[in-house]
Structure 1
Amino acid sequence: MKRGAWAALLACALSAAASAERLTLDEALASVAAPHPDRRVAESALALSRADREQAASRQDFSLFLDGSLRTGRRPDGDWKPDNIGRIVARKPLFDFGRSSQAIAAADRDVAARQAELLNVESLRRIDIMARYFDVLLADMQSAADSEFVAVAYVSWDNARDRFEVGQISQPDLLRLEAEYQDLRERRNANQQRMRSTRQKLAHAINRPGKLPSELADPALADNARPLPEYESLLPWVMEKNPRVLALQAQVAAADARLAAVRAERNPLLDAEVVGGGYSRESSTRDGLSAGLVFNIPLYQGARVDSRVARELAQKERSVAELEKLKLELADTLLATLQEIEWLRDSGRPAAGKQIEYRDWALERSRAEYELEMKTNLGTSMAETQMAQLRRKQVEYRLALALARLEALSGGSLPPVEGARK
């Protein structure tokens, strides 16, 4: 194989390796399902609710236990004789008149609330990952522009020192140029530290602590142009689909079921029981095998039931108040998010685009003047062009985050827009 072919093969291999190491936004968002601490907390709460549901359902389970005693007793003839008892008891609750069914219903609603909260955690994790990803990209672009500004300022200051030595400029002018250079250098160094911190936050967000991503791919963000419904049509959808609303509604329903279960404590209990026993002392009143129905009718329970009812009523009232407050906050948040999207599309994009158009023209003019050896500062024009591109990226990233928040408010999906292209 010729040397040129080997070089081409090596270049392709290096390019492929670099591409494989580059992190994409889709890859970062795929880590939403990773065992991040936030997700694990929500999953643990869901597992607890499911365990409580199993416990509530177990109240109707068949039970089998050994019941016995070791004792001795004195008979009328004065002798002490053993009176040991051993029994195997099988018991099955037949009717508890609402205790178990309402407890199970309350546990089911708690499980539904935890599932909705888990969905909300996933949405928040998705937004956080996107924000951290964009922070890294913006920090890299800012660092590139800052480095260009620093280089230009250093050249200006260095040239000014030579001119100061021959008396062409005054000392205050020299000090001003040095101060500008030091200010720009300070800002660049601070942003370089931010580059490290943003990468660490991204690594933590995608649950890869200690593995800081070196290179990120710039996302296309094709959904930034998607049509959106009006506020009036989107608000009912959000109130119906929002996971936090669903969670609080489930908590209110669970409180109602718990109230019914507590009030059912005043109702009777009816169990079926089968007993097989062995006795060390025979008696006509003792059966080796017996079966029957066991009932329990509460006559007086003091304040036990009333206090628990009062507690559940207070809990329900708090959940209802939290739900009403949340709906008010969602209405305000939805309006603010839609207004932000509209402002970014109608004002932010055109302004950033026109700034890029102007900076491109100014950069071309600076290049032409530089080639003609006219007095100009090509480095400053290049840095200002990078800042204009940074501004446009900021608009697009902010728009993508606003749309992600809008989807999170809507439970992960937006209603179809009438007249929109499919």
Structure 2
Amino acid sequence: MTPDPAVAAAARLDARLLTDDTAPVAVALSGGGDSVALLHMADSWARRMGRRLVALTVDHRLHPDSAGWTAAAGAHARALGVPWTPLVWRRDKPMRGQATAARRARHGLLAEAARAAGARVILTGHTLDDRREAAWLRAQGGTLGRLRDWSPSPVWPEGRGLMLLRPLIDVARADLRAWLASRGVAWLDDPANVDPVHPRARARAAIAAGEAVAPEVLPPEPVPLVGVEALPTGALGLPRTLDGRALAAAVVCVGGGEGTPRGDRLAGLAARLTEPGADLVATLAGARIIARGARLLLVRETGEWVRRGAPVASLSPGQPTVWDGRLEVTATGHGGRLVPARGRLARLRREDRDALARWPAALRPAAPLIEDAGGDVRLAIRGATVEALVRRRFAMATGETPHERDLCRPQDGAGAEGALCLDDDGVPTPVEKS
């Protein structure tokens, strides 16, 4: 007897989410069978557990019927009384890499809408078939990653603080269709799913024709790393024994970027770190890795700004601004421009130079400054609240937040998602939120 897919979905919701909490849970709703089934199952769970749902639909504007599909998705949400928000990808569509660009845009729009609604988790309708199709594509040389039931939003900085939950990850697509049909619920079928121009459609057709696919099991839960130290400006202190996955997460988080480093470069660095007693300095994905003895210090590699341009952002009073992918800055007084300390240290007031002089030298160039219209600069923490994003982001990528409750509290160790402040000696230090 086939297990009830709604029971499987509820089990994963129970395992990952809080009950009777005021924050809503977001549902990515396309109108296809997978997401419609997810909406109905999540709605039943939320009613039992005292949670609110919000449904979010992205119209990519890639098909002439997309507006109608979006309206149909909204009708499903309204029928259940679930608040629904349509989102539109309005930017020009690239001629090449359109699928990748659409995926990035979709996750960005979903993340921004979920954050605006106060959600911490976005539910998506990925199924067992999606995992099989991804495995087929990898066997053909594709670079798709392995889906997990619980993972951070793949976009940055829009997805900061958000996790994705895939309650249907072990459920077959056919079982979901049968479940919907038994309840008289209709759904849409995207013609792209059978158009061989799309790699996913080719994978689906090959599997339907009986082409063998290696068994696909869920990746093991990541094991949290012990000995992580958060430092000012989003630097990290780490044990040298970290594995390749944690190393990749660390360099991306400290570098403030979004994409993971190339596999060959990552493997080469990981191999060098295993050499006993060998100190080294290397750069990867915008981070500088300094190995001394049994510890690593990862800091922002400001040298890349010479080639690509330094991060600069406008700062308006009361408006949070993510700067260089590492820090969220909110002006408490006048605004100005956020600029890096690199190249401007000599222009700081003496008290600011003295404060930075107490930091490790490798951290100073990446400190944020506020530059006013007259060109004067000061440490950002003297005119703004500076929230460190790196430690929290690293925790979410490496298994320290296995439940929604873990997204609501500071991580162990100084500076987890905390504000930088000046201590009694005038030294900027990270502090935890209470």
Q: How does the TM-score come out when normalised to structure 2?
A: 0.21
Between Structure 1 and Structure 2, the one with more helix by share is 1
Q: How does the TM-score come out when normalised to structure 1?
A: 0.22
Structure number with the bigger relative contact order (C-alpha 8 A, sep ≥ 6) is 1
State which structure, 1 or 2, has the greater radius of gyration over its C-alpha atoms. Answer: 1
Between Structure 1 and Structure 2, the one with more strand by share is 2
